[in-house]
């Protein structure tokens, strides 16, 4: 909740200090076809009761696969929350993210990324999100629901 609150505050600050004649402070998906929009990227991990990241533990790769599978299966169902208007939908589902598949850390044309973990360890988090004009609270709720779906349905 605190991270979502901070994201909302940051968007308000950026909009409040942007130049009147410029577009440097625009925070939305994609305003013009020739400009790149902003994104709302969420890095997700699951901590156990001791605070250890479950995705980075020995059985973590299976949990991570289940979590990402849940996000993949609920991707279409959550598009209204993650891309709330035409421009953000076009940027997210139109040409910027053509396929909801897992990609490496450099590919931005995918809906989900699994960055590598430590130098010698397994991946320890997943990255997902929506358009910059989406509500961070709703995007995080959609991601958490998808994670729960993936973990409970294997």
Residues 6+ apart with CB under 8 A from 134: 40, 81, 82, 83, 84, 88
CA dist list (Å): 49 to 20, 42, 52, 65: 48, 22, 8, 21
Buried b / exposed e across 104-132, counting CB within 10 Å, b at 16+? eeeeeebbbbbeebeeeebbbbbbbbbbb
What confidence tens digit (pLDDT) does each residue in 22-58 have?
A: 555 555 555 555 555 567 778 888 888 998 888 888 8
Mean pLDDT of 113-128: 62
In this predicted structure, what is the pLDDT of residue 96? 47
Residue 101 has pLDDT above 60, yes or no: no
In this predicted structure, what is the pLDDT of residue 120? 44
In this predicted structure, what is the pLDDT of residue 20? 62
Q: For residue 83, what are its two tokens?
A: 């891309």
What confidence tens digit (pLDDT) does each residue in 75-85 have?
A: 888 888 888 87
Average pLDDT, the chain: 75
Residue 152 has pLDDT above 70, yes or no: yes
- Domains, the chain, in order of start with CATH, read 2-153 (3.30.590.10)
| 20 C-beta neighbours (distance < 10 Å), count | 5
């Amino acid at each position: 909740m605190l991270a979502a609150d901070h994201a909302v505050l940051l968007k308000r600050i950026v909009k409040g200090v942007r130049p009147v004649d410029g577009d440097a402070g625009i925070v939305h998906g994609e305003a013009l076809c020739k400009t790149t929009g902003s994104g709302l990227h969420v890095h997700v991990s699951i901590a156990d009761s001791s605070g250890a990241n479950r995705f980075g533990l020995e059985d973590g790769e299976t949990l991570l696969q289940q979590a990402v599978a849940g996000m993949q299966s609920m991707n279409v169902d959550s598009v209204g929350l993650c891309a709330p208007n035409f421009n953000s939908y076009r940027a997210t589902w139109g040409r910027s993210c053509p396929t909801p598949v897992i990609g490496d850390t450099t590919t931005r044309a995918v809906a989900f990324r699994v960055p590598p973990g430590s130098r010698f360890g397994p991946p320890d988090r997943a990255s997902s999100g929506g358009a910059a004009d989406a509500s961070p609270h709703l995007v995080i709720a959609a991601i958490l629901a998808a994670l729960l779906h993936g973990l409970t349905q294997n």
